[in-house]
Structure 1
Amino acid sequence: MRQIEVVRASGLSKAQVSRLARGATSGRSPLPPAVYLSATLPAAEICVRYQDGESTNQLAKVYGCSNTTIIGILKRHDVPRRVGRTIELPVPDEELARRYLQDRMELQQLAEELGVKPNLVSRRVAAAGVKVPVGHRRMDLPDAEIVRRYKAGESANRIAKSYGVSHVTVMRRVREDRSSRGV
């Protein structure tokens, strides 16, 4: 927010806003800018708009502040927070779980197909009773080919890039091959 906008919104003089921006507060320790900003925002109007259905993100954009500032105003005025909206998916949770387990689709693939974020798909699959491991599921990779390429001198990074995995995955497969052969 530019200083002139702060002057208009706060009713302070240009000199006062300039001193506040520099942190010069007549010997007092300066308050964080968010405190000054939230004091200049129309709290009653924000509370009413929130209760009428606008989200904290929408209000933050309208008033040129952060989502946290809006939440602080709502807390100070004892406005109960709404629980996040539930996103309806065109596929039931049980179908997601089936596709994850039986069709071995990755959460990322399911999310892209449905146009949502992977963490939403993960929560829905877990809600259907499936234990979703943290991180990635072990991918079906041609371990023998990976080991052969690595032994031939190809870098772990290059091999990883060709399979769309990390170099750590490649090195893990190479180590597993060594330990299975007792080397």
Structure 2
Amino acid sequence: MPVPAPVAAAPAPCGVPAFDPLRVRGGGHRLRRALLRRRRSMAAGLAVTAAALAASGAGGPGVAAGAEERAEAAARAAAGGASGAGAQPDAEKVELVVAPVRIADVETARLLRHGDRVDVIAAASHSPSGAESDARVVAKGVMVESIPRALENAAEGGALVLLTVERDVAAELAGASTNSRLAVTLC
């Protein structure tokens, strides 16, 4: 019978040499770069959104004549800030107020709800000479704040509607209501 070959003995265990902990350098730099890329992409996304809203004509509360140009200028300023070109200019501060407006048609007021967007149109009453002038848009895309509940007794004088508008638009609405009948159209 053949004799089995001797098995080699395992080497003696040796200890792990002592060494300092391994420190990886440059990780913070990569993290900062990643955050900077994220901020740039967020700024670019916001600029594209602002430009799309300006192009679609979806304005904010109290949009009046000329507000489209201001929205486009704000979108251009945001796009310039996203590319890192200097500091962003101060945004135009708009003060919003709640303006009471009496519209001629009570039934139209019953259709309105808080948050609806409306255009306010002024149509001059018939003059004593019998001439009638054209209607004009006084405010575009303004938000309905509320409708007081006293609509039952409002048939004669029209219905009161509270609108959130810019301060200068509120002055135009007050002026137009003195010599014109006001109407609203839903946006």
Into which bin does the TM-score normalised by the smaller protein fall?
Answer: under 0.3
User: How high is the TM-score relative to the length of structure 1?
Assistant: 0.20
Structure with bigger helix share is: 1
Q: Which one has a larger percent strand, Structure 1 or Structure 2?
A: 2
Q: Which has the larger radius of gyration?
A: 2
